[in-house]
């Protein structure tokens, strides 16, 4: 949140995978995943289909 203060970042801690959701503009999933890796975490991009 310090690196991306303009994003809405939420966590689903009740999910067994501890899902993190990121909403906003002017960022890429790769930017967020790399930030996680630099801090000892891992992440994968799970796209959302808003048309369903």
How many structural domains are present in the chain? 1
Cα torsion 17, 42, 23, 6: sign: positive
User: Which one is predicted more confidently, 43 or 52?
Assistant: 43
Provide the domain limits for residue 6.
1-52
In the chain, how many H helices and how many E strands?
1, 2
Q: How many Cβ atoms sit within 10 Å of the Cβ of residue 46?
A: 9
12, 18 Cβ separation under 8 angstroms: yes
2-36: pLDDT as tens digits: 777 888 999 998 988 888 989 888 889 999 999 99
The residues, any chain, with a CB within 8 Å of residue 33's CB and separated by 6 or more, are 42, 43, 44, 45
Cα torsion 12, 19, 21, 33: sign: positive
What is the reported pLDDT for 40? 95
């Amino acid at each position: 949140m310090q690196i991306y203060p303009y994003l809405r970042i939420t966590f689903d801690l009740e999910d067994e995978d501890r899902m993190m959701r990121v909403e906003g503009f002017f960022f890429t999933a790769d930017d967020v995943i790399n930030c996680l890796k630099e801090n000892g975490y891992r992440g994968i991009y799970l796209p959302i289909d808003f048309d369903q």
